[in-house]
């Protein structure tokens, strides 16, 4: 009786029409990642865990390495960075490769807007950013500038503030972070950060 019931569950599972073929399972041992970053790594603002699907492999690998080696996240006020640092602490090079492979295979809906900003003002500020991140914010591998399109606006907002306040991009081994901190000097307030985040969010 019970077995029959289970069987019907399983059959239902196989036939479920909404189960998107592109959805990938979480590799065993990496369930930790989805606890915070959500199903298909769609992101979860409540945990301050950004959407990861849509990020490039080279960027993901660099950041995981930075977290692992305390190049990123090691600032007393950066609590979420500190949390991520702990998660990456014991990853081996192979594990990082496996994670990156999985993350880049996930797909999730683009996040909804959560920040209201002055898009015109954001556009003006973004001109500086566009040199590296591109006019559509899709990033530039040659320059080491990540794709920003599809990131959560609240995450962009937070990171811009982290750069501005010296909570990110101050470690001497964080070459790209330091670069970013230097050029993001045009963003001088929370308001600026919100405007830029809102502008990037509405780019297609």
Partner 1 sequence: MVGAAGGSSALLKTSLALGLMPDEPYTGPVKVKPAAKGQNPTALILGAGLAGLSTALELERAGYDCTILEASFRPGGRNLTVRNGDKIDEMGNPQICQFDKQENMYFNCGPARIPGHHRRLLHYCKTLHVPLQIKANSSKMAYFQDDKSLGGKPKRIVEYHTDARGLMSELLWKSADSNQFDQLLSKEDVAKLKKFSKTYGDLTENGKYIGSDRGGSTTDRMLDYPSPRAPIELKAMLDSSFWYGGLLGSETYDWAEPLMEPTGGMDNVIKAFLRNLKRQPVLNAQVKKIFNRGSGVEVTYEHSGKFHTVKADYCFNNIPAHFMAGIENNFSDNYQSGLNAIKRGHLFKIAFQMKERFWEKDGIYGGISYSKDAIGQIWYPSHDIHAQKGILLGAYTWNEKATKMFEALSQEERLKAGALSGEKIHPGYSKYIENGITIPWSRMNHQMGCGLRMSHDNFEKYYHVLQKPEGRHFMIGDQISHHTGWQEGALASSEQALQQLNKMLAANFNIGEPNYVS
Interface residues with partner 1 (CB under 8 A) are: 2, 5, 9-10, 12-13, 16, 18-19, 23, 25-28, 31-32, 34-40, 42-47, 49, 76, 79, 82-83, 85-87, 89
Q: Which is nearer to partner 1, 47 or 131 (CB)?
A: 47
Q: Closest approach of Cβ 129 to partner 1, in Å?
A: 27
Q: Which is nearer to partner 1, 14 or 142 (CB)?
A: 14
Q: Which is nearer to partner 1, 91 or 203 (CB)?
A: 91
Q: Closest approach of Cβ 138 to partner 1, in Å?
A: 25
Q: Which is nearer to partner 1, 5 or 120 (CB)?
A: 5
Q: Closest approach of Cβ 135 to partner 1, in Å?
A: 31
Q: Closest approach of Cβ 44 to partner 1, in Å?
A: 4
Q: Which is nearer to partner 1, 30 or 203 (CB)?
A: 30
Phi-psi region of 49 (alpha: psi -120 to 50; beta: other; left: phi over 0): beta
Q: Closest approach of Cβ 31 to partner 1, in Å?
A: 6
């Amino acid at each position: 009786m019970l077995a029959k019931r289970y069987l019907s569950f399983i059959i239902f599972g196989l036939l479920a029409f909404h189960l998107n073929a592109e959805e990938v399972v979480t590799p065993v041992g990496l369930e930790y990642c989805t606890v915070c970053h959500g199903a298909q790594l769609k992101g979860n603002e409540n945990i301050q865990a950004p959407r990861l699907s849509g990020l490039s492999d080279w960027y993901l690998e660099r950041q995981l390495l930075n977290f692992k080696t305390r190049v990123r996240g090691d600032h007393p006020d950066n609590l979420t960075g500190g949390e991520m640092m702990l998660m990456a602490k014991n990853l081996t090079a192979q594990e990082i490769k496996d994670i990156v492979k999985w993350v880049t295979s996930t797909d999730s809906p683009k996040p909804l807007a959560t920040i209201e900003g002055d898009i015109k003002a954001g556009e003006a500020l973004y001109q500086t950013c566009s040199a590296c991140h591109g006019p559509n914010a899709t990033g530039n591998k040659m320059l080491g500038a990540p794709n920003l399109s599809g990131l959560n606006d609240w995450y962009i907002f937070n990171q811009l503030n982290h750069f501005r306040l010296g909570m990110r991009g101050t470690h001497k081994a964080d070459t790209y972070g330091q670069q970013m901190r230097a050029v993001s000097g045009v963003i001088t307030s929370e308001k600026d950060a919100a405007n830029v985040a809102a502008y990037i969010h509405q780019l297609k």
